[in-house]
Structure 1
Amino acid sequence: RVVVLATGGAANVFIRSDNPQQLTCDGHGACLRLGIPLIDMEFIQFFPLGIAEPGKPSFMIPFTKGRLVNRLGEDIVMKYGLESLGKAVGFNRDKLSRYIMLEIMNGNGVNGALHIYLEENIDELSLFANELRRKLNLKSPIKVLPIAHFSMGGVEVDENLETSINGLYIAGELVGGVHGANRLGGNALTTCIVTAKIVAKNILTYIDNRFREKIGMDIEDNVKHILNRYRLKDGKYIPSEVRSSIRNIMWLKAGVIRSEDLIKECIGELLDIYENLDKIRISSHDEVVRYSETLNTLLTSLAVAYSALIRKESRGAHFRLDYPEESSSWVKNIRIIYKDDRFRYEVI
């Protein structure tokens, strides 16, 4: 038998994300629970201009003309020496995201966000942004905050995109290690197309060579252990509310701006939730699904947080306030493994 997982990226470990809400890290969580390593999970790409208006969806809005200001009226692009808003959005997204969050951390936000005052836009991206603004009835100035957009990390695979379990293949954004520390613009859909073609080709070869092989007993036992978690039971916590709490913790303590103290607080709070999984209610078939999504989000969040704690430098989309520079000693990958209900890591 052959299985292909193509469940998308891990950006939805954060409460602010522009990824579809049905992406709940199911592929990451499933692979972790099967003992398959994840790699590069600390690298999450944030887009700097995401809608932060109450009651509005947190879509990215790629405005290239306008003034991004804090509560003091300071132009953020000018304050931090960026050439223009358009170039910052196009080529310095990580820096602009960090500067926005630093302004808020320093008390210069406007109700937890910044304001963008719009100018007339004529380029293609801004035409799209203006159309979105009209449909959502957004008035200038618009409150904006960064949003999680893309995850460079994912499941570790070989050159055939096969995992450490024979016959289990990975495609799309779930594949880890393709983009290094940051993704170049335009490469997301390309990755989906290329990985799908590679997987399709190798599935045919796999079926020809191994059609009669049976799934290993160790995997069957692991699956039975996983399914035991999903029996209907009483509990004081609602799965969807727990998942929202996880995503809030990740946004506040392991998001755009990271530090050892914040990440350790994040991990501590996530482990508290992990220790109380048996108190989560599963009272219906729908809550079986919600519980599974919560567990997958929790395990993936821990993988991201542990990886961010281990990498003591700033590189690509990963920024540590306490280690703000790249280090030549960290030209390495971090592999995260979950086994026997514990996380461990390898630096390779």
Structure 2
Amino acid sequence: MLEKEVDVLVIGTGGAGLRAAVAAHERGAETLVVSKTLAGKAGCTVMAEGGYNAAIRTFDIKDSPQSHFEDTMKSGAGLSNPELVRTLANDAPERIQDLEGYGALFSRGRGGLIGQRKMGAQSHQRTCYAGDRTGHEIVMTLLQRVRSEGIQVWNYLFALDLIVSGGKVRGLLAFDIKRPGYVLIKSKATILATGGAGRCWAVTTNSFHSTGDGYMLAARAGATMCDLEQIQFHPTGMVYPDAARGILVTEAVRGDGGLLFGVTPEISDALEENRRRRERGEPQLRIDPEAFGAERFMTRYDPERMELSSRDVVTRAITREVLEGRRTRSGGVLLSVVHLDRDYVRTRLSTTYKQFKDLSGIDITQQPMEVAPTAHHIMGGVVIDKDCSTSLESLYACGEVVGGIHGGNRIGGNAIAEGQVFGAIAGKSAAAAAKTVKDEGVDLLSLARELASKHDLDLEKGGGDTRPCAIKRDLQQIMTAKAGVFREEASLQESLAELDALRERLTRSGVTDSSLPYSQDVVDRFEASNMVEFSRLVVQSAVLRRDSRGAHYRNDFPDRNDQEFGENIFVEGGTVWKAKRWS
């Protein structure tokens, strides 16, 4: 077994993980970053388009960190930790200055200052952006910083288990996907920055690598987590063509003036006519929903904020429109920028314009986009304190794997900011902690070998008749159908039984050859286990929360009940309970 020893280990190479690595390195810690795939490709930050929330007041002098705090707490539906939200709002302006100092290029506005747009559920124009490729700009900037500073990055390592002894995290057991075999990384401090779990649903904006690995690393080690029932479904994902279903259509489209419309038979026919024309290579019709008399249906759900209502409200509105039949033949509603200036759209929304042109052959300045909700962000996660420490000594966490910041509903633009704010704090805290750690003579290699033997058994089980990839697909269908936008007791209980059956099937699944480099079969086996166990925790938390709050909506308990359920749902080990930890 290959062994490596470092001061600080960072698991994950998204925006939060890279920022944590830079912060730890800047404070003198020998730092290693590991990634399940290729750094720069991993995680969801690189795919994020909308922007970074910071009250820098370049466009709205009335904005402030206090206002940012209040907007975030309001959207959190009573579940956010005020101390963490305060830190986010106060530190976000300074962290965006760090990014500029590292070389990030943000779009400019009045007077050459950083441009800002308004996103949903915000009281002010607060979202800084780099066109509609903000996340890509940030990740590439941080990756270049990591490389220029000589910080070690190991790609294609699957993080299997945190090594815990005496209540302290002392390292990681990983599997080398490129050169098959186990790796023991001994660390004085470890940072979880593993991202989310959107791939537990059939339709998602997330990368293929977002399979809940970090949550299960934390769960198996005994760390406390919270609010796993709070799953954000982004209101607008592509629905056409099928191969592009779920790909994010950034909230920046609505922030820059895009409008949502219902579908009339006449518009549906016009969309079909354009599909036929694209197949024949003929010029397409210009389709303006307003000219067809289409309804801006958000007037029935949130007439004040309309398209810029909170994501949970817009998601449920679109889902109801689709379920009640006011949808396109591909199963979506319409998002239109046809009424906006063509050059404005192609400049401000260049990535979105190219996305639709390349994937569906549609010019969004001439025809509305077809959109529907798509699994997007896990609001719950590992419980942290203001220094990013967890319930386990020497374990820190940052980014989407963390809970308690966004509460019941994340505001667009807060996730990228959160990754930078808490990534910097986690790196600083871990580096400081590493300096105080003394060698206690624990035999970590024996602990690692014991854990590895269990994984060997999992890889060798079964005759290969049940493929792990099939279990993943079945799980996605279960979670989409029974733990999606709308939930109820009967279907949640059914999903638990079906997940238990998948768990049993997994014990009989095998892999073809675990010695093959880059074996997707091996990765699928590890991921399927994490996905099944994470999904069970989500459903168990959803069963316990018998009210509707934030992104969690129960058809059988449609009202918010602060008296009985104004508390967070916590998970630790196999126990799920509700309690009020912060106020």
TM-score (norm 2): 0.54
Residues 112-123 of structure 1 aligned to structure 2 (within 5 Å): 113-116=331-334, 118=336, 119-122=338-341
Q: Provide Cα deviations, 1:28-57, integer angstroms capped at 9, x if missing partner.
A: 122222222321111111111111111225
Aligned to 1:26: 213
**Range moving further from structure 2, 165-174 or 115-124:** 115-124
Looking at structure 2, the residues matched to 226 and 75 of structure 1 have their Cα atoms a distance apart, in angstroms, of 58
Does residue 231 of structure 1 match 2:459? yes
Q: May I ask how many residue pairs the two structures share in their alignment?
A: 342
SS in 1 for 2:360: coil
Matches within 5 A, 1:79-118: 80-83=300-303, 87-111=305-329, 113-116=331-334, 118=336
Q: Deviations over 1:136-189 (max 9, x none)?
A: 234345432201121111112333323333222212111111222122222111
Shift of 1:314: 1.0
**Structure 2 residue aligned with 1:176:** 403
Q: Does 1:162 align with 2:389?
A: yes
Conserved in 2, the CA contact under 8 Å of 1:34 and 1:222? no
Out of 50, 61, 68, the residue aligned to residue 237 of structure 2 is 50
The 8 Å contact of residues 232 and 283 in structure 1, kept in 2 or not, is answered as no
SS of equivalent to 1:176: coil
- The 5-angstrom pairing of residues 1-348 of structure 1 reads 1=187, 2-53=189-240, 54-62=242-250, 63-64=253-254, 65-70=258-263, 75=295, 77=297, 80-83=300-303, 87-111=305-329, 113-116=331-334, 118=336, 119-122=338-341, 128-139=351-362, 140=367, 142-213=369-440, 223=451, 226-233=454-461, 234-285=463-514, 286=519, 287-329=521-563, 330-338=565-573, 343-348=574-579
Is the CA contact 2:471–2:506 (under 8 Å) kept in the aligned structure 1? Answer: no
State the alpha-carbon separation in 1 of the partners of residues 426 and 350 from structure 2.
37
The alignment partner of 2:466 has SS state of coil
Structure 1 pair 278/135, CA: closer, same or farther in 2 (3 Å)? same
RMSD, aligned α-carbons: 2.8
2:262 and 2:326 in contact (8 A); partners too: no
Over residues 203-262 of structure 1, what are the superposed CA-to-partner deviations in whole Å (9 max), with x where a residue is unaligned? Answer: 222222223135598976983575354332423211122112111211111011111112
Q: Give the 3 Å change call, closer, same or farther, for CA 215–171 of structure 1 in structure 2.
A: farther
* Distance in 2 separating the partners of 1:337 and 1:222: 23
Give yes or no for contact 2:259–2:296 (8 Å, CA) kept in 1.
no
Distance 1:34 1:10, change over 3 A: same
Question: SS where residue 555 of structure 2 aligns?
Answer: coil
Structure 1 residues 282 and 274 mapped into 2: Cα distance closer, same or farther (>3 Å)? same
Equivalents in 1 of 2:210, 2:554: separation in Å? 27
Higher Cα Rg: structure 1 or 2? 2
Residues in 2 aligned to 1:327 and 1:93: alpha-carbon distance in whole angstroms:
20
- Distance in 2 (alpha carbons) for counterparts of 1:215 and 1:256: 47
String of CA shifts for 1:240-295, please: whole Å, max 9, x gaps. Answer: 22112111211111011111112112111111101222121222232222111111
Shift of 1:107: 4.8
Q: CA contact under 8 A between 2:459 and 2:510: conserved in structure 1?
A: no
Conservation of the 8 A alpha-carbon contact between 2:546 and 2:554:
yes
For the structure 1 residues 95 and 214, does the alpha-carbon distance in structure 2 shift closer, same or farther, using more than 3 Å as the test?
A: farther
Does the CA-based 8 Å contact 1:77-1:83 persist in structure 2?
A: no
Question: Does the 8 Å CA contact 2:301/2:313 hold for their aligned counterparts?
Answer: no
Provide the C-alpha distance between the structure 2 equivalents of 1:245 and 1:214, rounded to a whole number of angstroms: 45
Distance in 1 (alpha carbons) for counterparts of 2:235 and 2:466: 34
Report deviation, 1:104.
3.5
Equivalent residue of 2:436, what SS?
helix
User: Matches of 2:296 and 2:203 in 1, distance apart?
Assistant: 21
Percent of aligned positions that are identical:
27
* Highest RCO, 1 vs 2 (Cα 8 Å, sep ≥ 6): 1
> Structure 1 pair 269/106, CA: closer, same or farther in 2 (3 Å)?
farther
Residues 30-87 of structure 1: CA deviation (Å, up to 9, x unaligned): 2222222321111111111111111225222244334532466773615724448xx5
Deviation at 1:296, TM superposition (A): 0.8
How far is 1:301 from its partner? 1.0
Cα contact 1:104–1:112 (8 A) shared by 2: no
Question: Would you say the 8 A contact 2:260–2:298 is kept in 1?
Answer: no
Distance in 2, matches of 1:121 and 1:153, equals 37
2:497 and 2:227 map into 1 onto residues whose CA distance is 21
Farther off after superposition, 196-205 or 95-104 = 95-104
Query: Bigger CA drift: 277-286 or 311-320?
Result: 277-286
The residue type paired with residue 180 of structure 1 is: G
Unaligned regions of 5+ residues in structure 2, if any?
1-186, 268-293
> CA–CA distance in 2 between the matches of 1:71 and 1:237?
45
Q: CA distance change for structure 1 residues 80 and 24 in 2, over 3 Å: closer, same or farther?
A: same
Contact 1:32–1:299 under 8 Å retained in 2: no
CA distance in 2, matches of 1:321, 1:169: 37
Which stretch shows the higher mean deviation, 155-164 or 50-59?
Answer: 155-164
**Unpaired segments of 5 or more residues in structure 1?**
none
Deviates more, 1:53-62 or 1:38-47: 53-62
Deviation of the 1:319 alpha carbon: 1.1
Matched letter for residue 236 of structure 1: D
